[in-house]
Structure 1
Amino acid sequence: MGEKIGRMENRKLGMATGMTAYTLWGLLGLFWKLLSVVPALDTLAYRIIWSLVVIVIVVTFQKNWGQTVKIVIELIKNRKIYWIILSAYLITINWFIYIYMVTHNQATEASLGYYIMPLMNVAIAVFFLHEKLSRSKLIALVLVLMGVSILTIQTGTLPITTLLMAGSFCLYGLIKKQVQLPATVSITLETLFVAPVAIIYLLISPHVMTQNGTEVTVLLIVSGIITVIPLLLFAVATKNTDFITLGFIQYLNPTIQLLTAIFFMGETFDMHKAIVFAFIWLGILVFVFGNILTYHKARN
């Protein structure tokens, strides 16, 4: 009985932390919009530096440096450290594209990227992990491709930034799946590997952190906290929540992004965009429904 109650409590914790993490990620667009006066590359560099400061404080508070050093030595021995370095730069690319899109009035397109992302994960799993493609996933992928094709025809160009943002995170997730690390260790290493580049860039950049006033300076410092907290919450969620539940919760992020883009950032959502999103949403419905059927079959 006690074991069952413990599982229920863990599930509640997983649900709560998962929903909080995805909600915070969904609201991040509003935060980056406040930093529109700062060049996107500078914002990214400050985000990396202050994220490193925050995670160093967290690891020190947890007295976790011994475990971190041991894991790094093991990664070097089995040559998996190169994958961690690659993952660090992939997540950095994802961060930069998202910041750039939000600060250049493309938050709607950014939300589209996060809607596409789960289905892009399926495509990557098929090509790189040789997983079988079910009928529902195939239909979902076709619908998403139709949506992207319509967007390409409407704009006259392929939505490169949207696809790059989704693709960089998908490849990042693929590496994380192959080389699994504790959350604090993973964040520490990822920020540590890109921090030197961020520091060099800030040293040669004409922008100064304090030049736009106290409010912007404080926001740049806070960017480290708002980066690390959702990642730590998500790590707790993945340990205490089943895959199907997280599969539902993940759509909170792009939905909140889309709503904030329309109602708080003044971006338009015309008929052309509605048609594109309709195909994407239909693909997601098919994808989710297929996952539910697979989940129930597995349980039975």
Structure 2
Amino acid sequence: MQNRTKGIVTGVSSYILWGVLGLYWSLLKEVPALDILGYRFIFSLVFMAVILSFQKQWTSFFASVKTLWQSGKIIWVILSSLFIALNWGTYIYMVGHGQATEASLGYYIMPLLNVVVAVFFFREPLTKTSVLAVLFATIGVVLLTIQTGSIPFNTMIVAFAFCFYGVLKKQIALPASFSLTLETIVCFPLAVGYFFFSKTPSLFSYDGLTISLLVLSGVITAVPLLLFTVAAKSLDFLTLSFIQYINPTIQLLIAVFFFREAFDPHKLIVFVFIWIGIAIFTIGSIHSYRQAIFYKK
């Protein structure tokens, strides 16, 4: 029970922090999205270097990297790093361009995308409730496409990038601190190269608050992920599935009530279809979980 309580506290904390990140990025509207992404990787690496040094884990870290290199699994780390960079960059761009509502929709869709990926990549059986849930989500995306007159590419990029990031992470057995450190190491040269060759303003051309926020972006990147890792180890899949919707729900509320983005009846209809899909998916997951427990007994 104590372990479960720790899992719920850390899990809810991680999803709340992820949910309010939109407010954080909105304070950096004057900074281009690619610049924020670059600084996020640079200062995440600095923060994780401090963490590993404090924990005296560098020897273990390099041993893990050597094992990944020898097994050829380092390619999964490189690909996962690129997908999380795509997810972060797109989300930051959307928040800065009045699309926070659409970004939250991407995170609502993502768990249902996981169902599709599980079928095609891991050959997991597709239940009737999963089919129905994905169908409702697809209807929602089609309606959004019809309403806007174009495919919601940014929304789908957010969903697909994080989904495939999760798939690739399953191929690598690494502690969260090692994984995040390695991902930031992979992206660090890209960030440095971007700043070297682009004509973007230097970090010190901004005011003190903006500089502080950019530096702290490393901390606010790492902390939720580390909390989530504790939760994932302490909670069953069903409980974790429930609380994951805290993130997009907070994002949606912030988009509507803080950013004052329009949430007209047309958008509401889109979200209703997505929510119905989520409800069906959740009910199906509860049923499957109870059956699994029953057969174990």
- Once the two structures are superposed, the pairs formed by residues 1-300 of structure 1 within 5 Å of their partners are 8-205=1-198, 206-300=200-294
Assess if the C-alpha contact under 8 Å between 1:88 and 1:191 holds in 2: yes
Structure 1 residue 110 displacement after superposition: 0.1
Q: Between Structure 1 and Structure 2, how many residues are aligned? A: 293
**Aligned partners of 2:259, 2:203: CA distance in 1, in Å?**
24
**Aligned partners of 1:84, 1:215: CA distance in 2, in Å?**
33
**Aligned partners of 1:51, 1:155: CA distance in 2, in Å?**
36
**Aligned partners of 1:118, 1:279: CA distance in 2, in Å?**
15
> Stretches of 4+ moved more than 6 A in 1?
none
Assess if the C-alpha contact under 8 Å between 2:76 and 2:171 holds in 1: no
Structure 1 residue 212 displacement after superposition: 2.6
SS in 1 for 2:30: coil
Assess if the C-alpha contact under 8 Å between 2:7 and 2:232 holds in 1: yes
What amino acid maps onto 1:189 in structure 2? L
Q: Residues 172-227 of structure 1: CA distance to partner in whole angstroms, max 9, x if unpaired?
A: 10011122211111001000000001011112232211223111111000111000
Q: Residues 259-292 of structure 1: CA distance to partner in whole angstroms, max 9, x if unpaired?
A: 0111111111100100000000000000000000
**Aligned partners of 1:180, 1:122: CA distance in 2, in Å?**
21
What TM-score results when the alignment is normalised by the length of structure 1? 0.97
Percent identity reads 52
**Aligned partners of 1:201, 1:283: CA distance in 2, in Å?**
40
Question: Any unmatched runs of 5+ in structure 2?
Answer: none
**Aligned partners of 1:130, 1:290: CA distance in 2, in Å?**
18
Assess if the C-alpha contact under 8 Å between 1:244 and 1:292 holds in 2: yes
What TM-score results when the alignment is normalised by the length of structure 2? 0.98
**Aligned partners of 1:211, 1:39: CA distance in 2, in Å?**
13
**Aligned partners of 2:205, 2:253: CA distance in 1, in Å?**
32
Q: Residues 223-277 of structure 1: CA distance to partner in whole angstroms, max 9, x if unpaired?
A: 1100000010001110101100000000000000000111111111100100000
Q: Residues 2-56 of structure 1: CA distance to partner in whole angstroms, max 9, x if unpaired?
A: xxxxxx1110000000000000000000000110100000010001000000001
Question: Any unmatched runs of 5+ in structure 1?
Answer: 1-7
What amino acid maps onto 1:210 in structure 2? F
Which residue of structure 2 aligns with residue 3 of structure 1? Answer: none
Assess if the C-alpha contact under 8 Å between 1:50 and 1:224 holds in 2: yes
Assess if the C-alpha contact under 8 Å between 1:45 and 1:199 holds in 2: yes
